[in-house]
Amino acid sequence: MILADLHIHTKVSHGLATVEEMYAAACAAGLEYLGFSEHSPLPPGFSCRLYQENFERDFPAHCAEVLALKARADSPRVLLGIELDWIPSNMAYMRDLLASQPFDYVIGSLHFLGEMSIGFNANWECPPETAFERFERYYREMARMAESGLVHIASHPDFIKLRCFDLFQEWLCQPQSRVCISEAMSALRRNNVLMEVSSAGLRQAFCEPYPGPMIMDMAAREDVRIMLASDAHRPEDVAGEFDELARYARSYGYRECGIVVGGERRFLPF
């Protein structure tokens, strides 16, 4: 049984439930650890139209609410995390943001390449060669993120397939793809960054975890340690599909998953 879920969102950004409602779902799921990892407010020049209008203003109050729950909650134990958008043109912004709250852990995420949002369909109306160049850049940035010292966890490591699944599968058949991915996996291992294995992909049309089988195999061969998570935006998705996720991870030889408490890695059997 997976006992921790450290990647969830609330209505302060674009989730559909409150902190208390997500905590109640974790109690019902029998978790021992629940980490609130809200998206990071974006720097000037970047935006996500999915976020609430007052997200940046409300983010400190959200952190205060989670910290108050952390102080009084017994089981599951509550952690304050953040899902940091990796935007390397704004390193000072990212550092200042991470210093602004007592985060237990930082999940690094690639939702942007430059100023291009990965998650919108219109941005993938492009020739295959353009998409392939973006895939290569995505994994170069993942390696750079791992080496930055800012993150403890790399989230959904093939999130870029979200709007271009077939193109991504085609790219995975190219020899260069293995080189790019291998370099990223090596960077995760060298820098003690956990790779998230996420059930969120099972709730997409392609019904495949993040990451898919090829990358999962490469990570296991590279001895990259993992964290299992849901990326829940609704109470019913907290610890969602965890039995299937555990079977998936075990099929690649994994028997324990990592969590981060106060910046320190711990490992739980599953």
pLDDT tens across 136-147, in order?
A: 999 999 999 999
* pLDDT above 80 (res 47): no
Pair 266, 48: CB distance under 8 Å: no
Q: Dump pLDDT digits (tens) for 219-238.
A: 999 999 999 999 999 999 99
* pLDDT above 80 (res 49): no
**What pLDDT was estimated at residue 218?**
99
Give the bridge partners for 197, in sequence order: 228
Q: Dump pLDDT digits (tens) for 56-95.
A: 999 999 999 999 999 999 999 999 999 999 999 999 999 9
When pLDDT is averaged across residues 178-201 and rounded to a whole number, the result is 99
| Element at 268 (helix H, strand E) | strand 264-269
Burial of 228 (0-12, 13-18, 19+ CB in 10 A): buried
| Of 40, 15, 34, the residue nearest 100 (C-alpha) | 40
* pLDDT above 80 (res 24): yes
Please report how the helices 19-29 and 55-72 are oriented relative to each other, as an axis angle in degrees rounded to 10.
40
Length in residues, the chain: 270
The chain-wide mean pLDDT, for the chain, equals 97
* pLDDT above 90 (res 44): no
Query: 216: pLDDT confidence band, cut at 50, 70 and 90?
Result: very high
Pair 188, 240: CB distance under 8 Å: no
CA distances from 8 to 53, 136, 154 (A): 20, 28, 14
Domains of the chain with bracketed CATH: 4-269 (3.20.20.140)
User: For the chain, how long is the longest CA-to-CA vector?
Assistant: 53
